[in-house]
Structure 1
Amino acid sequence: MQRIILSKKNFITLVSAILIVFGFFSRFGLDNITLFHWSLFTASIVGVAPIAIQAYQALKVKVISIDVLVTIAVIGAILIKNYEESAIVTFLFLFGSYLEQRTLNKTRSAIKELTEMAPESALKQMENGKFVEVDVDVVDKDDILLVKTGAKIPVDGTVLFGEGHINEASITGESVPVTKKIDSEVFAGTILENGTLHIRADRIGEDTTFGRIIELVEEAQDSKSEAERFIDRFAKYYTPAVLFLGFIVFLFTKDMELAITILVLGCPGALVIGVPVSNVAGIGNGARHGILLKGSEVINDLSRVDTFVFDKTGTLTIGNPAVAEREFFGNNTDEVLAYLASVERESDHPLAKAVLQDIGEKPSFPVEETEVVKGCGIVTKVNGHLVAVGNVALMEREMVKLSEKAIDDIERLEKNGNSLVLTAVDGELKVIMGIRDQIRPGVKEQLQNLKMLGVKNLVVLSGDNQGTVDLVARELGLTEAYGHMLPEEKSAFIEKLQANGQKVAFVGDGVNDSPSLALADIGIAMGSGTDVAIETSDVVLINSDFSRLPHALGLTKYTSRNMKQNITIAVGVVLILLASLLFSEWMNMSIGMLVHEASILVVILNGMRLLRYRLRG
């Protein structure tokens, strides 16, 4: 019976409203005071039922909730035959509960949209080679799956056959389709816009990128922040205090109506709902912008960070080496680049890909009599010319004369943190290329945004050489830069900062970053990083978009401020109502309850503003 009544709470609210309207129509339209009293009495009994059930359930677990206050107040009003007050109070309380639930559901829309995107079925290759549609839950690792145009990718996997364009907006936030071909990685929840793919299942179920996103967001909305825990403790003592105040007032004044009114006006409804609605709205905003905040506690901690510590490779930089600087000597540059491209196509050296990407499309020449000089480079014949591609040591071995300008260029490029690729043709130096990891586009501007948000210290820690780290720090305007750092040294550095009273956030993406991510006050992982880094962190930037970092910091600061506003509104309204009741004559139960429910609506609407938050650039 209790479950049925609670499930019909919205219907009961509607019935209560109709009875109240009919009651006032009976009094002022029909001039029937008896019908007026009976309508409001019925509305009171109907309306108090779900509230009383909730109060009983709270008392069973030894909690004196708001529902207990309202139930006592309404029963008291009925006993003194103040049916008008009791009916309006129950309706306003139920209507406030309806608005509260409806608004919370809206703030969870980002999470709901995510879960609705989850794939439910897959075309799995059976032993006879045919593809059969099965539930996604029965797909195992290494199964071969068929994905057709318009279908959702059911698992994280690797393309074995076919080519197509995939919309990865659910994972990366970017709506531009991404081309996928053999050996490309695909993610669950993304949509194949055209083409047909055969994929191998690498990660399934909750282990997929999409599954982890849903899990993290659900965990985030269920967790409680420090502010919420404070309010729980506050409500535990506050509610009995209001009951005691009402009892004392009755003892001294013998005014039952005044005592009952104190119970109604003392309900801290806005206080209880204000902080959770801010947290859920803030987490929802983050999810929509590619930021996973793992719990309400993270909002509080991140909002107070004053020091950001960054790993370099894959965080401040892209993680893929590229040609950053080049110097040419002599004529026939295009011909020399074509020779260089022909040589690098034969090489498996990590820098060869960067060279080829920089050169672009060039004619291909046959490569003959290749000699690999270990630790130095390659010497070979291309189109009848002797071509040497490698470092300075190779040039010395091949007796290639370096001019003063070439020596100066080599020193300058090395000082700038480049790895060098020199090319000589027939004993003459023709090209020097400086290759280094490129800084992520827009990082400098985003770091400035962090400073504008109150961050005092920006530090980079890297295992790379000090010269390269210093170059990155100068280019980005960082506060401190340290190279040759082992994982344990990074952790020790963070502990030192914390010992000095700094609130530290560490941003990284690798397995070696995991100790620092766990140790920092806030660990922030790039979404393209390792599983260990993502699991260890408190915040995940889903598509590794560095621009999300200032948004995350600004959002948590805005959310924290929003929580404090809601607490101030809630406590302020209760104090004003009680003061007005005790020290003025115009305040009564109905007016007070109306103001009280209005305050709940105000804090809900204030919290919902977080859904529209965007960092102002």
Structure 2
Amino acid sequence: MTRWKNWGVVVVSGLLIIASWITGWDALMIAAAVVAGYQIAISAIQALRVKTVSIDLLVTVAAIGALFINNYWESAAVTFLFAFGGALERATLNKTRKALTDLVDAAPETATVLREGEAQSIEIWELVPGDIVLIKNGEQVPVDGTVVTGHGGVDEATITGESVPAEKAEGEEVFAGTWLRSGLLRVKAIGIGSDTALARIIHRVEDAQDDKARTQTFMEKFSGYYTPGVMLTALAIGLITRNVELALTLLVIGCPGAMVISIPVSIVAGIGRAARDGVLIKGGEYLETSARVSAVVVDKTGTLTNGRPMLTDVVVLDDAYSEDQVLTLAAGAETASEHPLAEAIIRGAEQRELAVGMVDKADPVAGKGIRATIDGRTIAVGTADLLDQAPDRTPLLELNTAGKTAMYVGVDGCAVGIVAVADTLRDTAGQAVEALHDNGIRVIMATGDAKRVAENIAVDLGIDEVRAELMPEDKLVIVKELQSRGHTVAMVGDGVNDTPALAQADIGIAMGAAGSPAAIETADIALMADRLPRLPYALALAKRTVRTMHLNIIIALLTVALLLFGVLFGGVTMAIGMLVHEASVLLVIAIAMLLLRPTLKEGEETITQRGARKEALAS
């Protein structure tokens, strides 16, 4: 039915016009005008009922007027071209919404659940939280949940835009709509159906594509005055010149169709493109504001850094020991520690495949470190206070100055080495900061960490300004200060400690929001993938979208101006006017659709590219 509504009327009307040309029967031309114009007239009447003077009314009046002055070809041509343009417009708008369609299609419908020890295939709606779902290699993950047993690589492109499968093991989260590409998983269901990350994303994109930008709202108000103005102008010219055809032609060429469609189609395309690449933009208003961002305030931990301490250095102070031996001793002692940095040292030893010894006895010393007995030796990891002899402090101070947390490793009271840990920079942090600078955006780091640590990171990344040792409310002050200096500010944070600053910023951005309902619902922009380069990508896409909107508005206004000049001085007819008018509509749609081209520059496939590759492999 929808396809007939789009194209059936156009086809029938076109065939009637051709038949009229062949036979010379005017009745067929009138029939063509009626077939093509019937729905247009209905739409005009419906708009009038809500006190709106629409474009459809201009076309309807012009077509009926042409019939009354026996200009049947003009009437048929105007209605046919308008119907044809409308069908193309709807088809192309549907194409720009394909990102949403792809997400909806990604939603699974069935699941294999383990009940009473047996695997049963059931509909998604039959699942309940707590069910254990079995997912085999090549199957779709049907729920949001936690891996209970198993190991495998999960393709999370539909959620994060990432093309490389994420390794999942016991305790890891998985999301509905993703695909298991290797291994076998048993997953405890937590989110089902509308309570999944995928469902929340679909809801967000759906709302965002319908949300209006400020420019769109202005243009709609403008057209509300413009369209009646065109009708009154045409009426006045008709009365003054006594030229009905001229007045009707002015009605046709005055249609602001390209002007009205230029902005929504750009917004839909821009938000759709972003969604395919794992960036959720709340709506047109936020897209437009993002294009003006001139300063970005970023938190350090978990944003510029991985948010997880890592072993960075092992320094030998006693030649009788190697680096691996120092690290083995330190890791052995730390197995008895509950300190957050202990895990980093143990993990560092595991990565070097070192055999960590068992602790016979352990004695944590508050604020200083830990002493442990291993194979009859007393191993200390921590400050110099745990040692009997004063060690060389120079290497430790150098590491501390570099922003690392350094600890002595002692054996029976003597220092044999130093281990250092730090929250390491994300591999892509430098690339992201450079991309922001390329877009003319100032980058400010705001962190509660020590000033020395923050300054070292800022130097490494080329950050413009550092604010350290802050409380959450201090970040709010920084955002206000930047705004008072004329900046449009984006704040990037975790959405918890940074909530006041995120709320104050012109654009609040949450990173790694997959699976976080609060982040998806509250952030103006949510970066589903935990990758910082998506930030400059999102801001650059917003600028491209706004530039496209402005270009399309210029094309629409220029078209009307040229047609008006052509009618008054160049003999442009009603049919030619409608043809040029519809051509301008298609042009602005085509320009807007250029936003759908993949432009993500992270050495990754986009969802679109990945889908095409899957289809090629399947065929």
Same fold by TM-score greater than 0.5:
yes
Q: Deviations over 1:502-536 (max 9, x none)?
A: 21100011411222212210001102485434432
Deviation at 1:613, TM superposition (A): 5.1
Q: Let me know the Cα RMSD of the aligned residues.
A: 2.0
Work out whether residues 527 and 534 of structure 1, in 8 Å CA contact, stay in contact via their aligned partners in 2: no
1:70-126, CA deviations, whole angstroms, 9 ceiling, x for partnerless residues? 000000000101011111111110110111111111111111101100122223444
Contact 1:159 1:198 (8 Å CA) reproduced = yes
Q: Which residue of 1 aligns with 2:447?
A: 462
Deviation at 1:429, TM superposition (A): 1.6
User: 1:113, 1:5 → 2: CA distance?
Assistant: 20
Task: Give the AA of the match of 2:273.
Answer: N
Contact 1:511/1:532 (8 A) holds in 2 = no
Deviation at 1:483, TM superposition (A): 1.8
Q: Indicate whether 1:362 and 2:354 are aligned.
A: yes
AA of the residue aligned to 1:109 = K
Contact 2:277 2:600 in 1 (8 A): no
Cα distance in 2 for partners of 1:246, 1:528 equals 54
Measured in 2, the distance between the counterparts of 1:400 and 1:368 equals 24
User: Which stretch shifts more, 486-495 or 331-340?
Assistant: 331-340
Aligned match of 2:559: 573
CA distance in 2, matches of 1:519, 1:143: 41
Partners of 1:319 and 1:289 in 2: CA distance: 24
Among 387, 390, 393, which residue is 2:382 paired with? 390
Query: Aligned to 2:147, what secondary structure does the other structure show?
Result: strand
Alpha-carbon distance in 1 for matches of 2:328, 2:465: 42
| Residue type at the aligned position of 1:348 | E
In 1, the alpha carbon distance for the partners of 2:36 and 2:365 equals 89
Q: Quick check: 1:508–1:533 contact (8 Å CA) kept in 2?
A: no
Of the structure 1 ranges 337-346 and 281-290, higher mean CA displacement relative to structure 2 is found in 337-346
Aligned residues: 597
Specify which of 333, 339, 343 is matched with residue 349 of structure 1. Answer: 339
For the pair 1:12 / 2:1, whether they are aligned, the reply is no
Q: Is the 8 A contact 2:6 2:90 kept in 1?
A: no
> d(CA) in 2 for partners of 1:602 and 1:203?
44
Asked whether the 8 Å contact 2:314–2:327 carries over to 1, the reply is no
Name 1:159's counterpart in structure 2: 147
TM-fit CA distance, 1:282: 0.6
Aligned residues of 1:325 and 1:435 also touching (Cα < 8 A): yes
Please, which of 22, 25, 30 is the counterpart of residue 25 of structure 1? 22
1:498 aligns with 2:495: no
Partner of 2:568: 582
Question: 1:507 corresponds to which letter in structure 2?
Answer: V
1:487 to 472, 486, 490: 472
Q: Which residue of 1 aligns with 2:133?
A: 145
The answer for the alignment partner of 2:296 in structure 1 is: 308
Q: 225-234 vs 461-470, which deviates more?
A: 461-470
- Choose 144-153 or 556-565, whichever is displaced more: 144-153
Q: Counterparts of 1:607 and 1:60 in 2: how far apart (Å)? A: 32
How far the C-alpha of 1:428 sits from its partner, in A, is 2.6
Whole-angstrom CA distance in 2 between matches of 1:522 and 1:290: 17
Query: Which of 415, 422, 444 pairs up with 1:429?
Result: 415
Is 1:98–2:87 an aligned residue pair? Answer: yes
Distance 1:13 1:535 in 2: 42
What amino acid does structure 2 have at the position aligned with 1:494? V
Letter in 2 for 1:11: G
Q: Give 1:548's aligned amino acid.
A: R
* Offset of residue 566 of structure 1: 0.4
**CA shift for structure 1 position 210:** 1.7
From the superposition, tell whether residues 556 and 613 of structure 1 become closer, same or farther in structure 2 (CA, over 3 Å): farther
Partners of 2:125 and 2:469 in 1: CA distance: 46
Q: Which moved more, 1:497-506 or 1:137-146?
A: 137-146
Deviation at 1:424, TM superposition (A): 1.3
Residue type at the aligned position of 1:399: D
What is the CA-CA distance between 1:135 and the residue it aligns to?
2.9
Offset, 1:374? 2.4
How far has the Cα of 1:65 moved from its partner?
Answer: 0.3
Which residue is 1:30 aligned to? none
Residue 175 (structure 1) aligned to one of 150, 163, 179: 163
The DSSP-based 3-state class of the residue aligned with 2:423 is strand
Tell me the amino acid that sits aligned with residue 53 of structure 2.
I
- What is the aligned counterpart of 1:414 among 400, 414, 422? 400
Instruction: Report if aligned partners of 1:205, 1:211 keep a CA contact under 8 Å in 2.
Output: yes
Is residue 551 of structure 2 the alignment partner of residue 561 of structure 1?
Answer: no
Matches of 1:463 and 1:438 in 2, distance apart? Answer: 16
Using the TM superposition, give the Cα deviation of residue 501 of structure 1 relative to its aligned residue in structure 2, in angstroms: 2.2
**Residue among 244, 258, 272 paired with 2:260:** 272
1:56 matched residue in structure 2 = 45
Give secondary structure in 2 for the equivalent of 1:8: helix
1:463-504 deviations in Å (ceiling 9; x for gaps) = 212222222222222222112222222112212222332211
Question: Is residue 224 of structure 2 the alignment partner of residue 255 of structure 1?
Answer: no
Conserved? CA contact 1:118–1:189, under 8 Å: yes
Question: For residues 187-198 of structure 1, what are the structure 2 equivalents within 5 Å?
Answer: 187-198=175-186
Counterpart residue number, 2:498: 513
Matched letter for residue 342 of structure 1: G
User: Does the residue aligned with 1:277 lie in a helix, a strand or coil?
Assistant: helix
| CA-CA distance at 1:576 after TM superposition | 0.8
In 2, distance between residues paired with 1:448 and 1:178?
Answer: 27
Aligned residue type for 2:19? F
Structure 1 residues 424-433 or 95-104, which shifts more?
Answer: 424-433
Counterparts of 1:210-221 in structure 2, within 5 Å, are: 210-221=198-209
Kindly provide the amino acid, as one letter, of the partner of residue 371 in structure 1: D
- Tell me by how many angstroms 1:5 deviates: 10
Distance 1:326 1:335 in 2: 10
SS of residue paired to 2:341 = helix
In 2 relative to 1, CA 356–304 (structure 1 residues): closer, same or farther, beyond 3 Å?
A: same
**What is the TM-score normalised by the length of structure 1?**
0.93
What CA distance in whole angstroms lies between the structure 1 residues aligned with 2:133 and 2:355?
40
In structure 1, what is the Cα distance between the partners aligned to 2:212 and 2:555? Answer: 21
What SS is found at the alignment partner of 2:314? strand
In structure 2, C-alpha distance between the alignment counterparts of 1:102 and 1:125, rounded to whole Å: 44
SS of the aligned residue for 1:446 comes to helix
404, 412, 430: which one aligns with 1:444: 430
Which of 287, 294, 308 is matched with 1:299 structurally? 287
Bigger Cα displacement from structure 2, 325-334 vs 314-323: 325-334
- Which blocks of at least 5 consecutive residues in structure 1 are unaligned? 27-32
> Where does residue 207 of structure 1 map in the other structure?
195
Question: Contact between 2:314 and 2:326, CA under 8 Å: does it hold in 1?
Answer: no
Closer/same/farther in 2, CA of residues 551 and 6 from structure 1, 3 Å limit: closer
- State the one-letter code of the partner of 2:420: G
CA contact (8 A) 1:66 1:269 kept: yes
The structure-2 alpha-carbon separation of the partners of 1:311 and 1:207, relative to structure 1 and needing over 3 Å to count, comes to farther
- Note the alpha carbon deviations across 1:319-367, whole angstroms, 9 max, x for none: 0011233322222213333222322334332212211232321123343
- 1:282 aligns to 2:267 (yes or no): no
Q: Can you list the C-alpha shifts for 1:285-329, whole angstroms capped at 9, x where unaligned?
A: 101111111101111100001110011111111100112333222
Report which stretch shifted further, 488-497 or 314-323. 488-497
Which AA in structure 2 matches 1:543? A
Q: Distance in 1 between matches of 2:598 and 2:356?
A: 53
Given that 1:400 and 1:424 are in contact with CA atoms closer than 8 Å, whether structure 2 keeps it comes out as no
The match for 1:374 among 361, 366, 369 is 366
Pair 1:356–1:426, CA change in 2 (3 A): same
TM-score by length of 2: 0.92
Task: Please say if residues 253 and 574 of structure 2, whose CA atoms lie closer than 8 Å, have aligned partners that are also in contact.
Answer: yes
Are the aligned partners of 1:517 and 1:536 in contact in 2 as well (CA < 8 Å)?
no
Deviation at 1:7, TM superposition (A): 5.8
Q: Percent identity?
A: 43
| Cα 1:70–1:542 shift into 2, 3 Å | same
1:537 aligns with 2:529: no
User: Equivalent residue for 2:585?
Assistant: 600
